[in-house]
């Protein structure tokens, strides 16, 4: 998945929002001209993200121009206007360059966009330019070079030499995206039998309801869930169509006839996380109804590239025939050293009836029989972890979820439910925030440390 689909961007505090109406209209004309001209040279798939981002720019910053069609000649002249001609470089030109970086982001596409800027510095193709026009062309090239230097100095943290627009909001985003994509991507496959809580666990790790549960989908396919550099309030969805501002209805109703890609900011319980892709596979079961899911998941797990595999086991499903069959298949077909077993639904345990230590020991013995020499088993309450993430992000819980959150908060404040001791170097500290304390006790904090290598 290209960085354009995964990059974050926000138009809050964009400097052009303070410009007068005439400048704002010309600015959008210039921006739209360059983006659409570059898009014409790309495939439909390649042009999707830049054109979608342009729509967001238009609706957010230039709503007065929504019904105004941009003629090619008008766009070209608007670009020349900001290049400056005989009158000197316009202060909007460095902004325009920054926005092209944010819209295209991929280096080859940015290079194409800058080439179109340079083409606007060239002579008029319809007639031989006069002396004044030749000077204007030379000046525009010089101004473009100067604007590039301004952006370069700003990116390096050097003070601006002139009083132009403050590039800080845009440069900060460019840096965050650049640093994010400079790191290696961690790919984590997720698998489980039906009703083990796999989707709830994925949503808990993300901090948002992006993974659909088995009740919400009737067919199976792979869903790739990518994180983004920072929270920009947008969810990117590539299914039947591409949208960079998907709502919950779109996330719940997309077709599963082909692989789906979703990109959003992940809310971590730990200090920071790397670039991540969760490869969410359909739940498997021994029943004939879901045999197609099972075959599809097996094929995906054998063909996909990943660094780790999460195998979710529900406390009430541990040791069942379906669960054992799936684990046996994993042992026989996948690299055992990549597998992390997650024992989910520990919040269902009852004091006096259940014993977590005994359950973990029994599961370990079963895994040893399947050939896992040193099985890693991580206990967690995925549901409570998910509610914790929502609360931390300031989301409003439903009445039912709010009641469950209060109940589980009290439950995980008791030592019986505290699983932090099962994780290496995870201890609840008096100085921890309430969120961190509960995330450690519920197993979320420890699991994220293991997954992300922290």
pLDDT in tens, 228-244: 999 999 999 998 789 99
The predicted structure's pLDDT at residue 220: 67
Which tens digits make up the pLDDT trace of 8-22?
A: 999 999 999 989 989
Of 254-268, 299-313, 371-385, minimum mean pLDDT range: 254-268
d(CA 191, CA 281): 6
Q: What is the mean pLDDT of residues 280-291?
A: 72
The predicted structure's pLDDT at residue 334: 98
Mean pLDDT of the chain: 88
Contact 143, 84 (CB under 8 A): yes
Q: Is the pLDDT of residue 1 over 70?
A: no
Confidence of residue 373 (pLDDT cuts 50, 70, 90): very high
Q: Please report, for residues 108, 224, 331, 337, 450, the alpha-carbon distance to residue 341 in angstroms, rounded to integers and kept in the order given.
A: 41, 20, 12, 11, 11
Neighbours of 20 (CB within 10 A): 7
Confidence of residue 24 (pLDDT cuts 50, 70, 90): very high
Backbone phi and psi for residue 343, each to the nearest 5 degrees, phi listed first: -90, 110
Q: Name the residue among 374, 338, 380 with its Cα closest to residue 359.
A: 380
**Cα angle 292-227-406, degrees, rounded to a multiple of 5:** 85
What residue has token string 């961190």? 436
The predicted structure's pLDDT at residue 178: 93
Residue 400 or 286, more confident: 400
The predicted structure's pLDDT at residue 65: 54
Of 154-158, 162-166, 319-323, 422-426, minimum mean pLDDT range: 162-166
d(CA 88, CA 39): 29
The predicted structure's pLDDT at residue 2: 67
Q: Please report, for residues 67, 181, 224, the alpha-carbon distance to residue 276 in angstroms, rounded to integers and kept in the order given.
A: 39, 11, 10
Q: Is the pLDDT of residue 289 over 60?
A: no
3-state secondary structure of 255: coil
Q: Is the pLDDT of residue 424 over 80?
A: yes
d(CA 197, CA 159): 52
The predicted structure's pLDDT at residue 132: 43
Q: What is the mean pLDDT of residues 31-43?
A: 93
Region at 371 (left for phi over 0; alpha for psi -120 to 50; beta for the rest): left
**DSSP string covering 190-215, please?**
EEEBTTSSHHHHHHHHHTSS-SPPGG
Which tens digits make up the pLDDT trace of 172-195?
A: 999 999 999 999 999 999 999 988
Where b means 16+ CB within 10 Å and e means fewer, 363-397 reads bbebbeeeebeebebbbbbbbbbbbbbbbbeeeee
d(CA 98, CA 85): 20
Q: Name the residue among 256, 200, 208, 206 with its Cα closest to residue 383.
A: 200
Q: Which two tokens stand for residue 246?
A: 């998907």
Contact 216, 398 (CB under 8 A): no
Q: What is the mean pLDDT of residues 32-52?
A: 92
Contact 273, 266 (CB under 8 A): yes
The predicted structure's pLDDT at residue 286: 58
Q: What is the mean pLDDT of residues 110-135?
A: 65
The predicted structure's pLDDT at residue 30: 93
48: which DSSP letter?
H
Q: Is the pLDDT of residue 56 over 70?
A: yes
Of 10-19, 47-56, 57-66, minimum mean pLDDT range: 57-66
**DSSP string covering 258-303, please?**
S-EEEEE----SSS---EEEEEEPPPB-SSGGGHHHHHHHHHHHHH
Q: In DSSP terms, which residues pair with 311 in a beta bridge?
A: 191, 341
Which tens digits make up the pLDDT trace of 134-156?
A: 545 677 788 888 889 889 999 88
The predicted structure's pLDDT at residue 288: 46
Q: Is the pLDDT of residue 287 over 80?
A: no
d(CA 98, CA 175): 11
Handedness of CA 289, 294, 297, 299 (dihedral sign): negative
Domains and CATH numbers, the chain: 3-180 (no CATH), 183-452 (3.40.50.300)
Q: Name the residue among 409, 374, 372 with its Cα closest to residue 390.
A: 409
Q: What is the mean pLDDT of residues 1-11?
A: 85
Q: What is the mean pLDDT of residues 61-78?
A: 69
Q: What is the mean pLDDT of residues 115-144?
A: 64
Which tens digits make up the pLDDT trace of 78-104?
A: 988 888 766 667 899 999 999 999 999
The predicted structure's pLDDT at residue 127: 47
């Amino acid at each position: 998945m290209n960085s354009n689909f995964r990059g974050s961007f926000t138009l809050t505090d964009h400097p052009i929002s303070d410009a007068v109406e005439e400048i704002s209209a010309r600015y959008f004309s210039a921006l739209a001209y360059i983006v659409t001209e570059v898009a014409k040279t790309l495939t439909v798939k390649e042009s999707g993200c830049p054109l979608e981002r342009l729509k967001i720019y238009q609706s957010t910053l230039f709503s007065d121009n929504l019904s105004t069609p941009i003629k090619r000649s008008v766009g070209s002249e608007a670009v020349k206007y900001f290049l400056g001609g005989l009158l000197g470089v316009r202060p909007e030109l460095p902004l325009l360059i920054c926005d092209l970086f944010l819209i295209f982001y991929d280096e080859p596409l940015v290079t194409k966009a800058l080439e179109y800027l340079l083409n606007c510095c060239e002579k008029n193709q319809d007639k031989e330019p006069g002396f004044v026009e030749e000077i204007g062309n030379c000046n525009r090239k010089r101004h473009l070079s100067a604007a590039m230097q301004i952006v370069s100095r700003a990116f390096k943290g050097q003070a601006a030499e002139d009083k132009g627009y403050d590039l800080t909001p845009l440069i900060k985003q460019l840096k965050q995206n650049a640093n994010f994509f400079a790191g290696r991507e961690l790919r984590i496959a997720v698998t489980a039998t039906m009703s083990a809580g796999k989707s709830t666990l994925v949503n808990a790790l993300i901090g948002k309801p992006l993974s659909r549960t088995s009740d919400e989908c009737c067919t199976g396919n792979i869903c790739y869930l990518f994180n983004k550099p920072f929270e920009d309030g947008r969810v990117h969805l590539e299914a039947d169509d591409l949208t960079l501002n998907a709502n919950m209805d779109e996330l719940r109703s997309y077709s599963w006839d082909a692989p789906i890609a979703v990109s959003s900011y992940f809310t971590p319980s730990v200090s920071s996380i790397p670039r991540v892709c969760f490869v969410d596979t359909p739940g498997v079961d021994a029943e004939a109804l879901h045999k197609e899911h099972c075959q599809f998941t097996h094929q995906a797990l054998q063909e996909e590239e990943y660094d780790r595999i999460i195998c979710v086991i529900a406390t009430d499903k541990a040791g069942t025939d379906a669960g054992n069959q799936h684990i046996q298949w994993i042992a026989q077909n996948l690299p055992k050293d990549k597998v992390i077993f997650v024992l989910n639904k520990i919040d269902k345990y009852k004091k006096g009836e259940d014993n977590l230590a005994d359950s973990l020991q029994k599961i370990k013995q079963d895994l040893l029989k399947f050939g896992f020499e040193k099985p890693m088993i991580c206990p967690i309450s995925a549901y409570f972890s998910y509610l914790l993430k929502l609360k931390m992000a300031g989301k409003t819980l439903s009445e039912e979820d709010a009641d469950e959150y209060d109940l589980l908060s009290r439950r995980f404040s008791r030592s019986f439910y505290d699983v932090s001791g099962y994780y290496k170097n995870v201890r609840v500290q008096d100085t921890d925030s309430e969120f961190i304390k509960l995330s450690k006790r519920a197993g979320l904090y420890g699991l994220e440390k293991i997954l992300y290598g922290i």
